[in-house]
Amino acid sequence: MTDRDDARVRKALQGKDFPADRNQLVEYATDRGEIDDATLTALAHLPEGRYENLDAVIAAVPQRPGTTSNR
């Protein structure tokens, strides 16, 4: 992820309470209506699990959504 990608994910999840799982994160970002397709795709491709905070989400967002590599 680039710094710009990080900023988009942070904006999409601003105000979200944690912990949260992938589906809750995608739903929250979608409901807010402030998410572009690339950010939505990245969130949708997060590994399954619970995220304790926004930094954990940022660290887990795939570099190229849909692949198994995170970098």
Six token digits for residue 11: 């904006």
The crossing angle, in degrees rounded to 10, of helices 22-32 and 37-44 is 160
- In the three-class reduction of DSSP (H, G, I as helix; E, B as strand; rest coil), residue 51 is classed as strand
What pLDDT, in 10s, does the model give residues 6-42? 889 999 999 999 999 999 999 999 999 878 998 999 9
Q: What are phi and psi of 68, to 5 degrees?
A: -90, -10
The overall pTM is greater than 0.75: yes
DSSP tag of 15: T
Is residue 53 classed as helix, strand or coil in its secondary structure? coil
- Going from N- to C-terminal start, the domains of the chain cover 3-60
